[in-house]
Amino acid sequence: MWKDVDEETWEDWHWQLKNRIHTLDTISKILVLTPQEEEGIKKSNGRLSMAITPYWLTLMDPNDPECPIRRQAIPLAEEFHFNNNEFVDPCAEDRDAPVNGLVHRYPDRVLLLATDQCAMYCRHCTRRRLVGEKQVHSLNSKTIDSAVDYIKSNKKIRDVLISGGDPLMLEDDELEAILKKVSDIPHVEFLRIGTRVPVTLPHRVTPALVAMLKKYAPLWVSIHFNHPKEVSKRCKLACDMLADSGIPLGSQTVLLKGINDKPYIMRKLMHELLKVRVRPYYIYQCDPVRGTAHFRTPVAVGINIIEKLRGFTSGYAVPTYVVDAPGGGGKIPVGPNYLISQDKGKHVLRNYKGKIYTYVE
């Protein structure tokens, strides 16, 4: 479809966005769709509509409906099957929002939802209640200002996580206006951006963007990665640009059935991340958000993945597996149990191979 597109146009992130695939008509010319995919695409008009960058499509296997890149981007009919254990807002973010677009759950840090747009809409998105309406919402500066005022008046807040949607969907000057306002607050020590753009639209990471972000150090970037295939050459270039300008990079991964629920796939992903200077940070249990049952695994699957990583590979390649507690309890780490018993200063421990050791205090 894009064989006549020159390199410069292909590299233009605005072109990539403008040429995203939204319709059943176009996608069915590129992929042989299954009936579940066809029904899913037809029904998913509205919030979290299908939107696929040409770049993301190049990573996709056109012949395999189980392709992990494809499954994250193409809606299935299953998204419209809801069950009783699923919620619209599973982590009760709206309840913990003192002002619009700001979630204050932990004592010293807040989550600022800067936009409702993303480059590609992930079918497992936990914020699907907020994200990706068809018409583009320009940033509401009043909303941002009241969030900034809230942070100003709460001296305990030392860490501001800017997410969305995807804050890198904003133009450089729009994003900079937010970074400036937040970093000017004397008690804010640390900024972070949560994004999937280096994975779904790496062309967005331009020299100008990187130069702008660098000015707001210490600023860390957390990138949502789910599968080793996502760490392409083009993605590596984007990560290199960020890392070369001194921006520390971390990853967040959602545990997804049939996509990354095998220990060897997760191990490969974590290794690929270290190669592009991204430190694995979290693996999330897939939240019980409405219409995502087909993506969810038992919690035991996540625990087993950590069990197969810890000790068997570099400690830097082992993220923390967390369940974001339904009802708004926050992220709770779960993992293998290495402490077998504890009594009068005597600790019975097991190592990664299952051998038992005693540590006496």
- When binding is defined by CB under 6 A, the residue of 24, 41, 103, 131 that contacts ligand SF4 is 131
Is residue 216 part of the annotated active site? The answer reads no
**105 in contact with ligand PLP (CB under 6 A):** yes
**118 in contact with ligand SF4 (CB under 6 A):** yes
SS (H, E, C) the chain: CCCCCCHHHHHCHHHHHHCCECCHHHHHHHCCCCHHHHHHHHHCCCCCCCCECHHHHHCCCCCCCCCHHHHHHCCCHHHHCCCCCCECCCCCCCCCCCECCEEEEECCEEEEECCCCCCCCCCCCCCCCCCCCCCCCCCCHHHHHHHHHHHHCCCCCCEEEEECCCHHHCCHHHHHHHHHHHHCCCCCCEEEEEECHHHHCHHHCCHHHHHHHHCCCCEEEEEECCCHHHCCHHHHHHHHHHHHCCCCEEEEEECCCCCCCCHHHHHHHHHHHHHCCEEEEEEECCCCECCCHHHCCCHHHHHHHHHHHECCECHHHCCEEEEEECCCCEEEECCCCCEEEEECCEEEEECCCCCEEEEEC
Is residue 122 part of the annotated active site? The answer reads yes
The catalytic position among 125, 235, 239, 286 is: 125
**122 in contact with ligand SF4 (CB under 6 A):** yes
The catalytic position among 20, 70, 123, 127 is: 127
**165 in contact with ligand SF4 (CB under 6 A):** yes
Question: Please, which residue, 104 or 127, has the CB nearer to ligand SF4?
Answer: 127
- When binding is defined by CB under 6 A, the residue of 20, 71, 127, 204 that contacts ligand SF4 is 127
Is residue 118 part of the annotated active site? The answer reads yes
- When binding is defined by CB under 6 A, the residue of 229, 262, 331, 347 that contacts ligand PLP is 331
Is residue 125 part of the annotated active site? The answer reads yes
Q: Which of residues 110-169 bind ligand PLP (CB under 6 A)?
A: 111, 161
**277 in contact with ligand PLP (CB under 6 A):** no
Is residue 324 part of the annotated active site? The answer reads yes
- When binding is defined by CB under 6 A, the residue of 224, 227, 267, 296 that contacts ligand SF4 is 224
Q: Which residues are catalytic?
A: 105-106, 109, 118, 122, 125, 127, 287, 324, 331
